[in-house]
Chains A and B, each alone.
Chain A
Amino acid sequence: MKRFAAVLAGALVAGLAFSATAAEKPTLTVYTYASFTSDWGPGPAIKQAFEAECDCRLDFVGLDTSAGILNRLRLEGARARADVVLGLDNNTMAEARDSGLLAPHRVDLGRLALPIAWDDDVFVPFDYGWFAFVYDRTRLAKPPASLAELVAGDASEKILIEDPRTSTPGLGLLLWMRKVYGDGAADAWARLKPRILTVTKGWSEAYGMFLDGEAPLVLSYTTSPAYHAIVEKDERFAAALFAEGHYMQVEVAAMTAGAKQPELARRFLAFVVSPGFQNAIPTGNWMYPVTDIPGGLPDAFAALPRPERTLLIAPGVIAAKRKQWIGDWLEAMSR
């Protein structure tokens, strides 16, 4: 009994001491989406690398989706717990900026090697990629070579896409079609409709169904085949390159206006464009890093074909028009 009491007391003291040292270190809280901070995402490596140099604690808070981050930020308003948000993208940037909840980063972005010019004062890009239709080479000999071919193609050759109301790639395709077809987008959707097997809630459902052989084409990213090549040593998968070009997603980070650790937050944003962060991106988030990384990209990444043209719609236009475009999409798809 005595020994038990002694052990208990010892544990208590040790626990108190531990929490005391933990409390002494400042904590940086970063909101991100769940797959970023999961054990298979880039989060753990980034946490380790940053904590090694900042003498602080980095706390990732994983929210369900990218849309969930902005939502959480707005729900919290001035009470925001986050110092940094990580995982918004070019398609939600304008709304995030207009919320007034974010602050300028003041980071030198000279190191960026993005395919597009970037001089935003609030958002620091951390990775990018292009939306694309991925297919299995052994099952589809002749993939569509353009969006036009996809739209006009054989209706018995099905595609799996995600819903723009609930999924980032889904919204990406909506904007892609809008960029290529302009006001004719609704008609193009109506022509594409017979080819669509189903419209899933999220990327996971669509991709899982694709891997199960439900449809030969799925809306994903040009970088998806690299996952299969590197992790599964499986070279079957490829992304169909479209002549019109591909819509791009740039994922961004920003610090909150109410950050409790503003210095640390800025330091983290500078870290975002450094090798310690960027190294973890290709085989962690399966996207392209925004800077050149030491040693270069993994072979499977370097071997991926890149779209010749990058398509983008200005964030401000998206913020103003998205609701109407989704309405048009609903109308065209429900016809």
Chain B
Amino acid sequence: MSLRPALLPGALTLGALALVVGGALAALLAAAPPGVATGIRDDAYLGRVVAFTFWQAGLSALLAVGLAVPVARALARRSAFPGREALLRLFGLPLVIPVIVAVLGVVAVYGQNGLVNRALAAAGVATGPYLYGLAGILIAHVFFNMPLATRFLLYAWQAVPGESWRLASQFGMSSAQIFRLIEWPVLRQAIPGVAGLVFLLCFTSFAVVLTLGGGPAATIIEVAIYQALRLDFDLARAVTLALLQLALCAAFVAFGQRFAQPAPSAPTERRAVDRPDLDALAGRIADAAVILAATLYVALPLAAVLYRGLTGPVTRVLGDPTLWQAAARSLSVALSAGLIALVLGWCLLMTSRELRLRMYRKRLAEAVEWGGSLVLVVSPIVLGAGLFVLLLPLADVFEVGLGLVVAVNAVMGLPYVVRLLGPPLMRLAEHHDRLCASLGVAGWNRLRLIDWPALRRPAALAFAVAATLAMGDLGAIALFGTRETATLPLLLYRRMGSYRLDEAAVTALFLVMLCLLLFFVVERGMGGRGER
């Protein structure tokens, strides 16, 4: 195999990731005081924990993606109703608001004293506690991930060429036939990647599982890692568990990848053609019902956050200069992390495109893409502690603290960039590679003339998602510890920790609004108005 330059960016990115993660884990192991190491011994407990972790993450992914399919289909079929853009933007929110805020929002709707229970009580139906336990974990995980999965899947629909719809209408296909012959093949290609991502996210969803899980029977590996690292200071065990988590997820992803069925794509006329099954009344009603249900599901907990914020001490919180300083800090963290994630993701995809389309090494291409995603399940507390130990002799950790937060968040945003940007990038290459080769368009010119105009919308979305995720980050910043450099989520959490729950609610609302604004500005400014 001759060395091709296009393999370099991905190889460098993966190498850097492996170096950072490996270095952090090794540094942590080296720092372990002798004699305390127990490694993994209490197998019965650990076995239960591993089983539960898989169970809840698997169910969450299944439900979130299973529900996202009809929602995305309804949204794809109804491409022009008023409020559609706003709805899609709303769908970007659950994942980026700090977990603790979202959990309290979910509790306000589904809790003991929540909206649903109160409505049922008013209707004379007595209910017991149903939220706390597996149900609560699933409700919250679907709330976080169904909207995201919907947005991902929507891209799959948009990839269906107009010619397919024209054929469908010429053949007079029914809705069911369209699904089977046109939509399912596209979905089959997209679902494993999306479900895998949701699975990884739920695998380490520490705060949700603990708070809504009802008790320690709902314990995931990440909690055991936390216990080993923070409570028992058993670094060897913490690192072992982190590696176990990584290995289990890698195995699962490799397994899931066998179901991915890539469909080759060919150049199309790129003309929008309406699908033929839009006019039937039953279909209209069904689509409206699905969209309405999904909107309610996502909007209600967010409305609870909104309500709490608006009824809180708004002027007192907004008048506090520390809020604005924190907002500025959060924005700069978000934009830097988002940009780095976008660049790294693009690097990975350049290489996987080369491997997939020009060298026909499909498995290797997938490995490159998933390599970036697996960073998601490197336990953040282990990674944080490891990086800390690694940097301790080299730099003043407090001076570079915010830089570390940017780095960790850029890496955490990488999987989203790969998932969002990957499919359109591959499609574009399949459509234009030959043309570019025959015209001799390459390098910078190709990026400027061919790739960027077609990719700026998905790139903007990827950047916006990565940036807003970083904006909502609490894990990394809380871990490294700061002098006076609070970000918005940290400010929010500190208010909660000092009984100021009402002020925290206003801060949460402010953070949500800032995320929305960022999303809007990035999607409009960077994505342009676009054709769709």
Interface residues of A (CB under 8 A from B): 31, 34-35, 38-41, 59-64, 67-68, 70-72, 74-77, 79, 81, 95, 158, 163, 165-166, 193, 196-205, 207-209, 211-215, 224, 227-228, 231, 286, 322-323, 326-327, 329-330, 333-334
Residues of chain A lying within 8 A (CB to CB) of residue B322 = 39
Chain A interface secondary structure, helix, strand, loop or mixed? helix
Query: Which partner residue on chain B sits nearest A330 by CB separation?
Result: B216
Q: Are B215 and A200 in contact (CB under 8 A)?
A: no
Task: Name which of B283-291, B336-344, B423-431, B494-502 contacts chain A.
Answer: B494-502
Given contacts A75-B31, A212-B107, contact A34 B493 (CB under 8 A): yes
Given contacts A59-B483, A67-B230, contact A213 B501 (CB under 8 A): no
A159–chain B nearest beta-carbon distance, Å: 12
Q: Are A165 and B112 in contact (CB under 8 A)?
A: no
User: Could you say which of A158, A227, A327 contacts B499, with CB atoms under 8 Å apart?
Assistant: A227
Q: Are A163 and B494 in contact (CB under 8 A)?
A: no
Given contacts A212-B107, A212-B111, A214-B107, contact A231 B216 (CB under 8 A): no
User: Could you say which of B48, B232, B392 contacts A334, with CB atoms under 8 Å apart?
Assistant: B48
Q: Are B104 and A323 in contact (CB under 8 A)?
A: no
B98–chain A nearest beta-carbon distance, Å: 11
User: Could you say which of A39, A64, A193, A286 contacts B481, with CB atoms under 8 Å apart?
Assistant: A64
Q: Are A212 and B213 in contact (CB under 8 A)?
A: no
Ranked 3 nearest A-B pairs via Cβ:
A35-B497, A213-B113, A64-B478
- Decide yes or no whether B233 CB sits under 8 A from chain A: yes
Query: In whole angstroms, how far apart are the Cα atoms of A330 and B216 in the complex?
Result: 6
Query: Which partner residue on chain A sits nearest B108 by CB separation?
Result: A212
B143–chain A nearest beta-carbon distance, Å: 16
A28–chain B nearest beta-carbon distance, Å: 13
Query: In whole angstroms, how far apart are the Cα atoms of A204 and B33 in the complex?
Result: 33
Residues of chain A lying within 8 A (CB to CB) of residue B182 = none
Query: Inter-chain contact count A-B, CB under 8 Å?
Result: 160
Q: Are B230 and A208 in contact (CB under 8 A)?
A: no
A73–chain B nearest beta-carbon distance, Å: 10
Residues of chain A lying within 8 A (CB to CB) of residue B520 = none
Query: In whole angstroms, how far apart are the Cα atoms of A13 and B388 in the complex?
Result: 34
Residues of chain B lying within 8 A (CB to CB) of residue A204 = 100, 493, 496-497
In this complex, which of B111, B216, B229 has the most chain A Cβ atoms within 10 angstroms of its Cβ? B216
Query: Which partner residue on chain A sits nearest B505 by CB separation?
Result: A208
- Decide yes or no whether B103 CB sits under 8 A from chain A: yes
Given contacts A40-B494, A41-B498, A205-B103, contact A61 B483 (CB under 8 A): yes
Can you list 5 pairs linking A and B with CB atoms under 8 Å apart?
A38-B497, A38-B498, A61-B482, A71-B230, A334-B215
Residues of chain B lying within 8 A (CB to CB) of residue A203 = 497
User: Could you say which of B206, B213, B389, B393 contacts A75, with CB atoms under 8 Å apart?
Assistant: B389
Query: Which partner residue on chain A sits nearest B214 by CB separation?
Result: A198
- Decide yes or no whether B211 CB sits under 8 A from chain A: yes
Residues of chain A lying within 8 A (CB to CB) of residue B486 = 38
- Decide yes or no whether B129 CB sits under 8 A from chain A: yes
Query: In whole angstroms, how far apart are the Cα atoms of A326 and B219 in the complex?
Result: 13
A47–chain B nearest beta-carbon distance, Å: 11
A78–chain B nearest beta-carbon distance, Å: 10
Residues of chain A lying within 8 A (CB to CB) of residue B226 = 165-166
Query: In whole angstroms, how far apart are the Cα atoms of A216 and B398 in the complex?
Result: 42
Residues of chain A lying within 8 A (CB to CB) of residue B231 = 67, 165-166, 322, 326
User: Could you say which of A62, A213, A327 contacts B482, with CB atoms under 8 Å apart?
Assistant: A62
Residues of chain A lying within 8 A (CB to CB) of residue B230 = 67-68, 71, 166
Q: Are B31 and A323 in contact (CB under 8 A)?
A: no
B491–chain A nearest beta-carbon distance, Å: 8
- Decide yes or no whether B207 CB sits under 8 A from chain A: yes
Residues of chain A lying within 8 A (CB to CB) of residue B155 = none
Q: Are B478 and A163 in contact (CB under 8 A)?
A: no
Given contacts A60-B483, A209-B104, contact A201 B207 (CB under 8 A): yes
B394–chain A nearest beta-carbon distance, Å: 11
Residues of chain B lying within 8 A (CB to CB) of residue A208 = 100, 104, 496, 501
- Decide yes or no whether B410 CB sits under 8 A from chain A: no
B211–chain A nearest beta-carbon distance, Å: 5
A272–chain B nearest beta-carbon distance, Å: 20
Residues of chain A lying within 8 A (CB to CB) of residue B217 = 333-334
0/1 interface trace, chain B 211-227, chain A, CB 8 Å (1 if under) = 11111110100010011
